[in-house]
Amino acid sequence: MNIVIADDEALVRSSLTSMLEEMEGSWNVLGEAANGEELLDLVGRCLPDIAIVDIKMPRLSGLEAIQQGRLLSPLTQWIIVSGYSEFSFAQQALKLGASEYLLKPVDPEELQRTLHRVYASNQQYIALLNQQFENTLFNLFHGLTSITAEPEDSLFHRGSFHGTFVCLDSSLPANQQIALQHELCRTARSLMNASLGCGMNIGIFALPGGEMASVSAWEPDKGIEARQRVVSYQEALERTLNTLSGNAASVTLMQTSECRGLQELVDQMGRLQRWAELRPVLGLSRTWLTEELEPHAEQEGKLKLGRLMIMASQQFKNKLYVQFQQTIGELGQLWGRTGLSRDHQVEQALLTYMGCVFPRDSEAASVRTVEEGFRYLQALGDRQLLGPQSMEQPIDWVERVIAYIESSYMKDIGISQIAADLNVTPNYLSTLFHKKTGSTFMKYVTRLRILKAKELLADTGLQVQQVAESVGYYSTRHFTKLFTEMVGMYPSDYRRSRQTSP
């Protein structure tokens, strides 16, 4: 927890600093100020979590500093230090938004109790604002709302952004793969919660294809502290998630460069999702940056080879063995007519990918070249076609998904969990769903939820918050934003319009 101290008495400042150094907890004093002007400069540069401020200071009083400082750093919590004779000033400070006040001379135990109270309330507020940021990100990436609906002066237009998404490759059964995805998400959220602070936000959510994404944003004009928090979080995320790669699965991270505004990030993430198809030919279990992938993406042979390898993996998992055989045949021809067969690094990367996503048996263990790998996969496809599990005439998965949505729209549902239950891949199920319904999975769920909400608003006396929770939204603000975007009016206005209509 980062703290700044402002008092015109050097002895008081050093006394407070000493108390903080001796306390249990991560209290980090970023700097000291001897007057109100120095305090504002410090707050603007550092965006502290807490400012401990003397009520009376030269040049700019504590009251004036709080009033102006809240504009510079809205999430900073203010603790007033006051003498008995200045109690009326302390009352004014509390009205201006100060969280607590302490009487001089400051008692160390009272200071510690006060800091813990302020810390708890500050973290709750930061978490609430971050949840709103995450909800907005999810809506924008899933096409539920538009960036043009966000205010021009908002973080989404003027902030700096950095994005990462996770490619999970494995031969694990669907239920085990979804369990690993949940573990990745839990790990990322734990790091996120430990990293949140003033001037920055982090969103962790599923992209339309089911991949986990992490997007960080900070305000570049409000000091370096927020950016440093983001950099530390990104480094910890990369370090931790890469350790989750093992024999059964590979975790590969795709990272954007620093982007100005969300639209630039969305464009770069879109390119990264296409270029992520290069990983079978470049390598797994590492982090790939946009600038590293771009030169390879310009080589059509590499991109096509990677795309076909991923396609073959998906077809095999989804038991589409005729299509799988055709893709392996196309891969063999492409490998033979490009110069990539002479690239040892590409060959090793392809063999690693095959070993990661296809079943391992004694025959697979003897594969030493890509050509041998393709012959093995062709034989594997032949055996599966002769077996009882082929699904070239598949069950109507989309009807099953729609039935699931109808019965569970009020729960926290996603395409990945449903795909695991049906033992198919999220990408395949998402493609089938879009092809048959003309809608993405999330847009379909959202439309159904809003339709049910309209029924509840028209036919019941439930409060808007209760309606939101009944259809699967636990943030009234999030629900209201989506409802207004889709219906064209606030939920309360919709209810009134239904009550007045004949």
CATH number at residue 235: 3.30.70.1130
**Three-state DSSP state, 272:** helix
Q: Within a domain: residue 19?
A: yes
pLDDT of residue 350: 96
Q: Within a domain: residue 131?
A: no
pLDDT of residue 82: 80
Q: Within a domain: residue 271?
A: yes
Are 272 and 404 in a shared domain?
no
Taking the whole predicted model, whether its pTM rises above 0.85 is answered as no
**Of the residues 275, 298, 321, the one at which a domain ends:** 298
Contact 230, 161 (CB under 8 A): no
Torsion of CA 469, 473, 478, 480, to 10 degrees: -50
Q: Within a domain: residue 294?
A: yes
Are 413 and 370 in a shared domain?
no
Are 311 and 344 in a shared domain?
yes
Amino acid at the residue 340: L
Are 38 and 68 in a shared domain?
yes
Query: Omega into 105 within 30° of 0, i.e. cis?
Result: yes
Closest listed residue to residue 128, CA positions, set 495, 498, 389, 477 = 477
Q: How far is CA 252 from the centre of its chain?
A: 16
Cα–Cα dist 256/254, whole Å: 7
The predicted-structure confidence for 394-408, as pLDDT tens digits, reads as follows: 568 899 999 999 999
Closest listed residue to residue 69, CA positions, set 104, 26, 36, 107 = 36
Are 366 and 411 in a shared domain?
no
Cα–Cα dist 478/458, whole Å: 20
Are 383 and 291 in a shared domain?
no
Cα–Cα dist 100/384, whole Å: 70
pLDDT of residue 93: 66
pLDDT of residue 119: 81
Are 230 and 269 in a shared domain?
yes
Cα–Cα dist 137/206, whole Å: 10
Q: How far is CA 337 from the centre of its chain?
A: 41
State how many domains the chain has: 4
Q: Within a domain: residue 151?
A: yes
Are 214 and 232 in a shared domain?
yes
Are 287 and 166 in a shared domain?
yes
Q: Within a domain: residue 236?
A: yes
Q: Pairing mode, if any, of strands 50-54 and 28-33?
A: unpaired
Are 98 and 217 in a shared domain?
no
> What is the CATH classification number for the domain harbouring 75?
3.40.50.2300
Q: Within a domain: residue 60?
A: yes
Q: Within a domain: residue 138?
A: no
Are 289 and 367 in a shared domain?
no
The 3-state DSSP composition of the chain as helix, strand, coil percent (nearest 5) reads 60, 15, 25
**Gyration radius of the chain's alpha carbons:** 28
pLDDT tens digits for the chain (502 residues)?
Answer: 789 999 999 999 999 998 888 777 678 899 999 999 999 999 988 888 899 998 888 888 888 888 899 888 888 888 988 876 566 666 676 777 677 888 888 988 899 888 888 887 778 778 888 999 999 999 999 999 999 888 898 899 999 999 999 999 999 988 888 889 999 999 999 999 999 877 889 999 999 888 999 999 998 876 677 888 899 999 999 999 988 888 789 999 999 999 999 999 999 999 999 999 999 999 999 999 999 999 999 988 999 999 999 999 999 998 899 999 999 999 999 998 888 888 999 999 999 999 999 988 777 778 899 999 999 899 989 888 877 655 444 568 899 999 999 999 999 999 988 998 888 889 889 999 999 999 999 999 999 999 999 999 999 989 999 999 999 998 888 999 999 999 999 999 999 898 876 5
Domain encompassing residue 462: 395-502
Are 185 and 294 in a shared domain?
yes
> What is the CATH classification number for the domain harbouring 449?
1.10.10.60
Closest listed residue to residue 133, CA positions, set 208, 227, 204 = 204
